[in-house]
Amino acid sequence: IPERHKLIQIKSKGYLMNPSVALFHLLSTAEKGVIEATQYGEINADMLFEIMELINEEKNPVTFLGCEKHNYEFTKNIRFYLITRMFFLTKQANRNDNVEREKTKEKRKSLKLVKTNVQNDPNMYFQIEETNAVETVIQMKKKRKRKSGKSNN
């Protein structure tokens, strides 16, 4: 069994077939094109065209795979493969963006505006101080209690 067929043999429950050498090279080139196209740039609408250009640069014998009878079906399968890969790449990119967005949101929550005095400057100014969001809520409640206690006296 060639090295490239070992995973198929492991995963197969008797239904998977081993691809031809030409098909294996085409799919390897397609995957290489997907990785190269998405490695440095952002995922956008032109990504599939960029991947196809990278595949064409490899001079892959795409037209020699399959026969006249199965050409259309084969093209549909390659298209499905590329669309599926783009779906998962987009999903991962969105997940990464959401993680960054959450980090930014948490940092914003932990910042509060605090009034401070500068020794040389009699004017007051505001400074951003990093605090825990829970501490900020507790401090605000204490201030409200103090203010309400002073107004009752």
Q: Show the 3-state SS of the chain.
A: CCHHHHHHHHHCCCCCCCCCHHHHHHHHHHHHHHHHHHHHCCCCCCHHHHHHHHHHHCCCCHHHCCCCCCHHHHHHHHHHHHHHHHHHHHHHHHHHHHHHHHHHHHHHHHEEEEEEECCCCCCEEEEEEECCHHHHHHHHHHHHHHHHHHHHC
Query: Which pLDDT belongs to residue 143?
Result: 67
Q: What is the mean pLDDT of the chain?
A: 70
Query: Which pLDDT belongs to residue 92?
Result: 81
Structural domain range at position 64: 3-121
pLDDT in tens, 81-91: 878 887 887 88
Instruction: Please count the structural domains in the chain.
Output: 1
Query: Which pLDDT belongs to residue 59?
Result: 58
pLDDT over 70 percentage in the chain: 58
Asked whether residue 67 is domain-assigned, the answer is yes
Mean pLDDT computed over 121-126: 51
pTM for this structure? 0.43
- pLDDT tier, 38 (very low <50, low <70, confident <90, very high otherwise): confident
Query: Which pLDDT belongs to residue 41?
Result: 67
Asked whether residue 82 is domain-assigned, the answer is yes
Asked whether residue 143 is domain-assigned, the answer is no
